[in-house]
């Protein structure tokens, strides 16, 4: 029972995080969490027509994802029913499935009228990209180390509960700073932090979080904290002296070779949301996964420190979390590590098998035990089929 409550609590956190701090282009735009099925279908692939964004520019070279000599198909059984991939995609409003093994495409399918050139919003998959940019900033010498104090890069936090908190502890969501992630409570931190007044020369999120007290020893207690994922984005941007979009362009989209420009939602202060909402093509989701699996290199050039990818995608803290948490990456009981976003977005990697499975969707609900269970059944079957190929 306790395990179920923990899972439901994290699901709720994932549910509400992306609702915060978007900038709609049209007044009265409904919350992205309350969109109809048609609004999801249209909006997830063209989020730039709904919210303010910045562009992550690609370069002239595209990292190849060649087709494997033999493509796979699969069926899987779940709760007494046999599913084909096409039936699963239709039933769960999936716009894309990509399966890679050893960097080659074993399966690439689209639904909901999506084309290969269409982008799709990531929701919290963006967190894993943000943590990757922390690694790049360390490799570049812009962030001294994971042990560096957060206040070195966000000096406005000096004298606050974040004094003595390290970059690593932020990435583990274990700052020890008090944070209420209750989305049913209008007085919770997450509710209050998304309706702050933007003042010249001050970041409203940083100002709000500088007033929060510490209640645990840093590094000792996992606490899902939407505000801190955006705080990490601000930290990286301050450290490197450019926007997250420009840095992501330099370190990933251009260096590694993404296939199309991506877009990143910004908050009312004009900062990219470190915790949410990058839109990219299905294959570029796969390239993000492949970049991490291959050790964070662009060709022979290291973009990340040598041990970064193994540390980021390995268990750094458990504290009751099923299978653990890394640096904005989730560990799973089936041995995978994942970047996950609500409504069915995921990059799932089985490291030892060198298999990456990407899903994009517009689930009818942001999350749910039934949705997750069916997705897990599909992932396990896809892994088995890919291993046998």
Label residue 156 by pLDDT band (50, 70, 90).
Answer: very high
Label residue 4 by pLDDT band (50, 70, 90).
Answer: very low
Give the torsion sign (CA, 167, 168, 171, 177).
negative
CA distances (Å), origin 61, targets 57, 254, 260: 12, 7, 10
Q: Which of 73, 100, 94, 72 is nearest to 84 (CA)?
A: 73
Indicate if the pLDDT at residue 163 is higher than 80.
yes
In this prediction, residue 10 carries a pLDDT of 42
What is the CB-side half-sphere exposure of residue 294 using CA atoms within 13 A? 19
Indicate if the pLDDT at residue 343 is higher than 50.
yes
Q: What percent of the chain has pLDDT over 70?
A: 93
In this prediction, residue 269 carries a pLDDT of 85
In this prediction, residue 183 carries a pLDDT of 59
**Lowest-confidence region among 24-33, 195-204, 229-238, 315-324:** 195-204
Indicate if the pLDDT at residue 6 is higher than 60.
no
In the chain, DSSP assigns E strands to 53-56, 75-78, 81-84, 94-101, 104-110, 119-121, 262-265, 278-281, 297-298, 301-302, 330-331, 337-341, 345-350, 355-361
pLDDT digits over 223-242, tens only?
A: 988 889 999 999 999 999 99
* Contact (Cβ atoms closer than 8 angstroms) between residue 84 and residue 75: yes
In this prediction, residue 72 carries a pLDDT of 97
Indicate if the pLDDT at residue 30 is higher than 90.
no
What does R_g of the chain's alpha carbons equal in angstroms?
20
The residues, any chain, with a CB within 8 Å of residue 190's CB and separated by 6 or more, are: 16, 17, 20, 179, 180, 181, 182, 183, 226, 227
CA distance 211 to 201: 18
* Helix and strand counts by DSSP (H, E) for the chain: 12, 14
What are the structural domains, with CATH classification, of the chain? 2-388 (3.40.710.10)
Label residue 151 by pLDDT band (50, 70, 90).
Answer: very high
């Amino acid at each position: 029972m306790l395990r179920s409550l923990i899972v439901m609590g994290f699901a709720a956190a994932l549910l509400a995080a992306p609702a915060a701090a978007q900038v709609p282009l049209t007044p009265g735009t409904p919350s992205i969490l309350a969109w109809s099925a048609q609004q999801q279908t249209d909006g997830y692939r063209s989020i730039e027509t709904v919210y303010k964004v910045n562009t992550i520019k690609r370069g002239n070279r595209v990292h190849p994802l060649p087709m494997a000599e033999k493509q796979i198909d699969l069926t899987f059984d779940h709760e007494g029913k046999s599913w084909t991939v096409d039936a699963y995609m239709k039933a769960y409003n999936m716009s894309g499935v990509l399966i890679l093994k050893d960097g080659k495409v074993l399966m690439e399918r689209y639904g909901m009228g999506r084309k290969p050139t269409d982008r799709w919003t990531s929701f919290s998959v963006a967190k894993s990209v943000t943590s990757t940019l922390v690694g790049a900033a360390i490799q570049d010498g812009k962030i001294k180390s994971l042990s560096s104090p957060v206040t070195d890069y966000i000096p406005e936090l000096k004298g606050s509960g974040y004094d003595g908190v390290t970059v690593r502890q932020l990435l583990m969501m274990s700052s020890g700073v008090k944070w209420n992630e209750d989305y049913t409570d209008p007085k919770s931190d997450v509710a209050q932090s998304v309706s702050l007044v933007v003042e010249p020369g001050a970041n409203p999120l940083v100002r709000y979080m500088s007033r929060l007290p510490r209640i645990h020893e840093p590094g000792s207690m996992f606490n899902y904290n939407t505000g801190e994922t955006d705080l990490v984005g601000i930290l990286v941007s301050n450290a490197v002296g450019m926007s997250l979009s420009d840095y992501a362009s330099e370190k990933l989209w251009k260096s590694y070779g993404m296939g199309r420009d991506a877009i990143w939602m910004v908050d009312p202060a004009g900062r990219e949301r470190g915790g949410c909402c990058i839109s990219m093509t299905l294959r570029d989701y796969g390239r993000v996964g492949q970049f991490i699996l291959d050790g964070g290199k662009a060709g022979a050039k290291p973009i990340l420190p040598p041990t970064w990818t193994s540390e980021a995608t390995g268990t750094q803290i458990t504290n009751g979390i099923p299978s653990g948490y890394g640096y904005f990456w989730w560990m799973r009981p089936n041995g995978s590590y994942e970047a996950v976003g609500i409504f069915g977005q995921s990059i799932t990697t089985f490291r030892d098998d060198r298999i990456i499975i990407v899903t994009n969707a517009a689930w009818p609900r942001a999350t749910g035990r039934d949705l997750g269970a069916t997705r897990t059944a599909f992932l396990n079957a896809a892994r088995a089929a890919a291993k046998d190929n």
